[in-house]
Structure 1
């Protein structure tokens, strides 16, 4: 045999061996690959007043007032549907009060508020917000995402470091990061 033929047989044998090794070491084709996606946490909304079953309900993010009313069994016949906007978007951690027909209501504001301010306990006015410089552990633990342990940590931080100057400083409390801060941002305030 000529030398070039030996070289050609050697190269061919090497390629065949490499292909055989790759074939043997490759994972079986019947293996199932599972892809996971992160699903957002549901929003928690408290609905009371003229609904069939008042209570706290979980709804998907980006839900509307009508969605939580459906979860609560629907409106009672005595519900004042003119005082609420069923199409308004919800927020996590709000309380919605559906008024009865005989209740006094204020005129609806013309803005993007999910429900009239008088019925939305998580409204943005300072008088409705919880002062984290004065709040008790019980009041703090009622905030979404806080609970007893974080409420105690807030009071302990306040006692050691002094009053909060801004609401953003609550993120300095161990266990409270940007995620929890976003949940309580519209519900808290500070006074000097």
Structure 2
């Protein structure tokens, strides 16, 4: 029975390939033509797979999507916070202290008289509340940065009064100290009166609207009969 045409063609290709293989390849490797063709097919498939793997794994450029909408306004928050932090703050009143101070602003100001200011205010605030100093007035005798005390008097444009008592406790030549207008420093300079007792005297005149007589010193906390006897000739209402 004759061979089919397909088998004859395959045999012809195998014979042609065998004749074209080098003699050393056939002798040393002992590979037949069919085996060599199979090996070539395997190598070709491996090569195609490697090329495919390289192509799919190559780096690619990714386009960034465009930004839509306005940026959040969070960047503006630090600026607003810093500006708020830069604003001056009025000191908070101490526990138990009155929320409002009453001071008497006298001298060369536009509107002299009693002024009510929040606790923590300074001498400069009292002068401003009285309309400010008159043109040409020298305010160098005032400590504008000093904190105010309830019931004290601020005199603008006049020399500061001399101490009420000298180093030896004697009365100064300026005369008695007014209990209703004396500053804490003036009261502190009196014999036997320190910063605490001066504060008590000022608190008392603030609560009672001032002194109407020297005898009211007896009602101030910390002043006994002996201390009152020492202070009586040195002060006036």
TM norm structure 1: 0.41
Higher CA-based Rg: 2
TM norm structure 2: 0.34
Q: Greater relative contact order (Cα 8 A, min sep 6): structure 1 or 2?
A: 1
